[in-house]
Structure 1
Amino acid sequence: MITYLTHYYRLGDPPFRSLSALCDAEAIAVMESLYEDNPLADRFKEPAQYMNNRRQVEHWVKNEFIAKGGEPKENYPLYAVLGYSHWLEEHLSFLELSSLRVPLTIFSHGDISFTYPDSMVTSWLGMDKESAHYQSQYHGKIFTLSDLDSLERIYGAPEDKGRTALWEGMGPYIEYIEAQIWNQQPLSDYLKTI
């Protein structure tokens, strides 16, 4: 079982920042600047629409997480990847990214949720069941710490290409399991120790 999360963030910036912490006008200004100088920032082409979609998806994830016993302490999550993203690791310098690993053991069941893959993608696929990529076992669903062992055993981890065809055709930049951190205190305590 994977025992850590990896958080990817812009080189030179502090880790674990979120657009959702900003008012819409501030978030849109940040996205507009990112869109100009980041080859992966295509999602920021329409920043107001992106922010609206993001807030809707975060609301959905939070409600589904609560229904599964989650106890979110925040209105929005901080994001990481379960294990790591092979594609992002290969492109860290090109994308001007840094990474930080965090042990899963600092979190309790009520602190963290997961989606297979990214929360926005799984939300869209969960609504578009006609998509060639839709898989009813995990798209449109939220998972918890207690689900991880069985998910990895059935589907394999994204970086474990030999175990599953799950990730084929999805695009290499989303071949990961996203983690949504809903309690910043354990993370804050951990970051003080490193």
Structure 2
Amino acid sequence: MIDYLTYYYKRGTEPFRSLSALSDEEATKIMGELCDDTPFGIRFKDPVQYMRNRRQAEQWVREKFIAKGGQPRYAYPIPMVLGASEWMVKNSPDPGAHGEIRIPLSVFTEYDVSFTYPDSMISLWFGREKPIEYYQPEYHGKVFTVSEILLIVESKGLPEEEWKISLPKNFAPYIEAQVWNHEPLLEYKRQLYNGK
């Protein structure tokens, strides 16, 4: 049973940050620094469009999660991965500084975390456009609770390991977790800075 979330970040930078917490000006500056031709950086080629799509996807997830009983404590989530993702490790833009923080699902409640497959922006897009070569109606355009996603994983495994998936190579094939209660993350941040 998969019982943890993973946060991927560049070592030496502050974890559990989100572009959505910043002003458009601040976010655009950071996206300019991150923009390159890797699967991570290419999404920032058009920062205005990216932030518009990102905020739209976050609002969509938030509303769907609330409709299922979710209780978001923040206007935006901290995105993480259910279990682990080889794709994230393999495509890290700076392998020498690649960092991971694993957090047990047990520190969150059913009301704190929502899930999409793949990430929320792609799921929303596929759910709307229904591209023939990629669209999977049982997953795309849907928001899942922790109990719902764990039932899927229990029967099918994780997407990168056991699903017959069809995604463009630059699209991450993991299940994204959206953490809407940031408080449990603070203890992990403190441990990181205290060297524990």
Both structures adopt the same fold (TM-score exceeding 0.5) = yes
Structure 1 stretch displaced more, 11-20 or 92-101: 92-101
Q: 1:95 to 1:49 in 2, by over 3 A?
A: farther
Q: Which piece of structure 1 moves more, 82-91 or 101-110?
A: 82-91
Look up the match of 1:184: 182
Aligned residue in 2 for 1:28 = 28
Tell me whether 1:101 sits opposite 2:102 in the alignment.
yes
Q: CA deviation at 1:39?
A: 5.8
- Partners of 1:88 and 1:173 within 8 A in 2: no
Equivalent residue runs for 1:87-98 within 5 Å = 87-92=87-92, 94=95, 96-98=97-99
How much does 1:154 deviate? 3.6
More helix per residue = 1
Shifted more, 128-137 versus 1-10: the winner is 128-137
Query: What's the counterpart of residue 67 of structure 1?
Result: 67
- Give deviations 1:78-107, integer Å, cap 9, x for gaps: 011000111222354537421111110000
CA shift at 1:160, angstroms? 1.9
Gaps in structure 2 of 5+ consecutive residues: none
Aligned residues: 191
Distance change (3 Å), C-alpha of 1:173 and 1:56: closer
Q: Distance in 1 between the 2:184 and 2:81 partners?
A: 17
Checking the alignment, whether the CA contact within 8 Å between 2:82 and 2:176 is kept in structure 1 is yes
Q: Distance in 2 between matches of 1:108 and 1:157?
A: 21
Q: Is 1:56 paired with 2:56?
A: yes
C-alpha distance 95-176 of structure 1, shift in aligned 2 (>3 A): farther
Give 3-state SS (helix, strand or coil) of 1:174's partner: coil
Distance 1:145 1:69, change over 3 A: same
Q: TM-score, normalised by structure 1?
A: 0.90
2:114 counterpart residue number: 113
Shift of 1:191: 3.9
Distance 2:87 2:109 in 1: 28
Q: Normalised by the size of structure 2, how large is the TM-score? A: 0.89
Shift in Å, 1:37: 8.2
The one-letter code matched in structure 2 to 1:125 is F
Q: Percent of counterpart pairs with the same letter?
A: 47
What secondary structure, in the 3-state scheme, does the structure 1 residue paired with 2:102 have? strand
Other structure's SS at 2:20 match:
helix
Distance in 1, Cα, partners of 2:127 & 2:137: 8
CA distance in 2, matches of 1:87, 1:144: 23
Is the Cα contact below 8 Å between 2:39 and 2:91 reproduced in 1?
no
CA contact (8 A) 2:167 2:173 kept: no
Deviation at 1:172, TM superposition (A): 6.4
1:137 aligned residue: 138
Q: Which residue matches 2:6?
A: 6
